[in-house]
Amino acid sequence: HSEPALAGEESLSKESRDSQRDVSSICPQHDKISDTSKLESQIDKLVYKLYNLNEEEIKIINK
């Protein structure tokens, strides 16, 4: 015998499911040990551009 849902529980549950679906569509789970090096490289390039780093500064960072 389950207890009746409290007011707002159903909408919270629906919001949780909706949020999970949104996250899943943005970040599909291919596998738990997927290679992230491509994404890391893209992030690095964005950071270099954000801070207007030159080649010499980038070399120092990557040492």
DSSP-H helix ranges across the chain:
9-26, 37-50, 55-61
- pLDDT of amino acid 50: 96
Greater pLDDT, 28 or 38: 38
Q: What is the CA angle 10-16-9, rounded to 5? A: 20
- pLDDT of amino acid 24: 65
Residue 38 has pLDDT above 60, yes or no: yes
**Does pTM surpass 0.85?**
no
Residue 15 has pLDDT above 80, yes or no: no
Contact 53, 61 (CB under 8 A): yes
